Structure 1
């Protein structure tokens, strides 16, 4: 893996380690889901339930893939090893969570997410709001609206792509 991909994976680990204890565990996913649902004001809705379900599914898949020692916690090293496998399974392992997150932020169900909703969701997962705003602006360009395809492409490139030359995906979760 190259240096940029390592930086992106380190950033992702730090966001998923929601409580900051140096490992990723189920309670990190529960905490993050709660923050996102509160920020989106979707705690008791069908969209909220779908997002919470996908957070649980992502945790289970990540644990099954990464928890090499079976202790129910994922270390930085275990996380790095697991992400090397993600490129082939992104659509089934990670994609559903991003799709659910998109639908959560698409408050009026028009297939577009505005800047305010995007920033609110990313801030809830730990990305500083100004950095989330920059990511949104770079991802959407002149349109000012994010599509699901744009988000899915950016997320896939964030996990799997080393070269940021023609994409803003490396900013998806804030500055590296």
Structure 2
């Protein structure tokens, strides 16, 4: 049950998008995500050009998410609203058919995790990313999650 679809989508909202940890998504999260992405991809360096690129990506993503998921038009997207939007727009579709801003977000997050830029997420890179996002006391949890993603026992 821990790896159910609902839990996976809730994890994405909580640990990837809801950067200010207030329990919902809004434009503020995506402004902060732009800066975070710029600094992480630049390994501490944040050029004006890269920041502008990420601001465009993240604000476009927010606008797209808000359009797809802010069903009550209150300026925030709850976990339940986000789950419904993902179900409506992504489930059962090929990656190529995802909304453009969502693909850009996925690709930029991959680049931030791929520390050596080789196009492969190694165990060490996965560990590094995980400990930045969540508090854990046993590395085995991270390693087991990594290997389960690879379908390796």
TM-score range, shorter chain: 0.5 to 0.7
- How many residue pairs end up in the alignment? 140
- Structure 1 position 51, deviation (Å): 4.2
- Structure 1 position 70, deviation (Å): 1.5
- Structure 1 position 66, deviation (Å): 0.3
**2:23, 2:116 → 1: CA distance?**
37
Q: Deviations over 1:63-105 (max 9, x none)?
A: 1100112121112331221121122375433222111222344
- Structure 1 position 137, deviation (Å): 5.0
5+ residue gaps, structure 1, are 141-165, 169-176
Whether 1:7 aligns to 2:7 is yes
5+ residue gaps, structure 2, are none
- The 3 A distance-change label for structure 1 pair 108 and 5 is closer
- Structure 1 position 35, deviation (Å): 3.2
CA RMSD of aligned residues (A): 3.4
My pick for the range that moved more, 71-80 or 35-44, is: 35-44
User: Higher strand fraction: Structure 1 or Structure 2?
Assistant: 1
- The 3 A distance-change label for structure 1 pair 50 and 104 is farther
Find the partner of 1:100 among 86, 94, 108. 108
How does the TM-score come out when normalised to structure 2?
0.66
2:32 equivalent in structure 1: 31
- The 3 A distance-change label for structure 1 pair 95 and 59 is same
How does the TM-score come out when normalised to structure 1?
0.59
User: Where in structure 2 are the equivalents of 1:120-139 lying within 5 Å?
Assistant: 120-124=128-132, 126-128=133-135, 130=139, 134-136=144-146, 138-139=148-149
Q: Is the 8 A contact 2:25 2:76 kept in 1?
A: yes
